[in-house]
Structure 1
Amino acid sequence: MKPVAIFRHLPIEGPGYFATFLDNNHIPWRLIKIDAGEKPPNSIAEFSGLVFMGGPMSVNDDLPWIKLSLSLIRQAVTEDMPVLGHCLGGQLMAKALGGIVKANPVKEMGWGEVTVPDHPIAREWFGDLTTFNSFHWHGEAFSLPQGATCILSSQYCENQAFALGMHLGMQCHVEMTERLVRDWCSVAAEELASLNEASVQSIDEIEKNLPERVTALNSVADRLYKKWIDHLK
């Protein structure tokens, strides 16, 4: 099998549990370090799927790699190659496919409940799961691209995930590990302390019962990732 391409946009926002999942399922992958100056490839031909991770930038920023990434997403969708996006990655997918990315009414940072709507497409991805506690770390959000279906919502963000056939774009972070959570909290300590919003938790709140929370989230990620890899070329 050709490797899955994983696009990283910040050193501390790597693939996390998704890489562990691929390794456990003996699926090769290649990390493309956009943050280190590596350019996106011009073609999707050498890969079996495309995965875009998070990052602090906006998809609306004038950065040279954004246009290239949007082009790759469109290529993949046209050629029925599965695309997966986490947070910024989901926003890249939405924009590439005609959606709009803009500021969310509030920042969402920390753990928060998300709800799975009761319709067939959501059930295909989540099975009998109706709610779960996900991790959030965003200030912008996407609208649904044409043909996509919302399969996850939260109190503070209507579109937490969308499905478009085999393609999955997420606003929330299901790829988290304990290390990722602690690293993000460390880097954003001042911001977390300065934001007085119900949608933003303190570091103590975020790191409370962290091993149990991460394990539960990994279980949800397994469901989503298992369905996604079924379509790898």
Structure 2
Amino acid sequence: MPPRARPRPKILIVLHQETSSPGRVGHMLLEEGFDLDIRRPPLGDELPCTLDGHAGAVVFGGPMSANDEDEFVRRETDWLQIPLKENRPFLGICLG
């Protein structure tokens, strides 16, 4: 029986527009053997309550400001405590 393939670690990718992509960062992560879990909070995607199933997170920017009053911006700002509390790798690009 062939050995089981080990599951690929996932990186949480947070995007803010329907047409946004993780671009070069995403390509590099895929090349390094990670799967991407893409979420778009402005479009209704929930962020996980823990990063137990993820190796880390990357939060990308968008047309809004981190200081905007949009509900998803507040939820996302509060969510940033999760990777910090769990001591998970975290990269914020622009809004992050």
State if a TM-score over 0.5 links the two structures: yes
Which residue does 2:31 correspond to in 1? Answer: 24
Task: Specify whether residues 46 and 67 from structure 1 end up closer, same or farther in structure 2 by C-alpha distance, changes over 3 A only.
Answer: farther
Is this contact kept in 2: 1:4–1:48, CA < 8 A? yes
Q: CA RMSD in A?
A: 1.7
CA distance in 2, matches of 1:39, 1:78: 19
Instruction: Normalising by structure 1, report the TM-score.
Output: 0.35
Which residue does 2:85 correspond to in 1? Answer: 78
CA-CA distance at 1:43 after TM superposition = 2.4
Match of 1:38 among 19, 27, 45: 45
Which residue does 1:199 correspond to in 2? Answer: none
Which residue does 1:9 correspond to in 2? Answer: 16
SS in 1 for 2:80: helix
Is this contact kept in 1: 2:51–2:86, CA < 8 A? no
* Amino acid corresponding to residue 69 of structure 2 in structure 1: D
CA-CA distance at 1:34 after TM superposition = 2.2
Task: Specify whether residues 71 and 35 from structure 1 end up closer, same or farther in structure 2 by C-alpha distance, changes over 3 A only.
Answer: closer
| Structure with the bigger percentage of strand | 1
Which has the bigger relative contact order, CA under 8 A and spacing at least 6?
Answer: 2
Instruction: Normalising by structure 2, report the TM-score.
Output: 0.78
Could you list the per-position Cα deviations for residues 132-155 of structure 1 after superposition, in whole angstroms to 9, with x for gaps in the alignment?
xxxxxxxxxxxxxxxxxxxxxxxx
Could you list the per-position Cα deviations for residues 86-126 of structure 1 after superposition, in whole angstroms to 9, with x for gaps in the alignment?
1112xxxxxxxxxxxxxxxxxxxxxxxxxxxxxxxxxxxxx
CA distance in 1, matches of 2:28, 2:47: 23
Percent identity of the aligned residues?
A: 26
* Amino acid corresponding to residue 80 of structure 1 in structure 2: N
CA distance in 2, matches of 1:13, 1:54: 10
* Amino acid corresponding to residue 2 of structure 1 in structure 2: P
CA distance in 1, matches of 2:29, 2:48: 21
* Amino acid corresponding to residue 91 of structure 2 in structure 1: L
Task: Specify whether residues 71 and 46 from structure 1 end up closer, same or farther in structure 2 by C-alpha distance, changes over 3 A only.
Answer: farther
Aligned residues: 89
Match of 2:54 among 8, 23, 47: 47
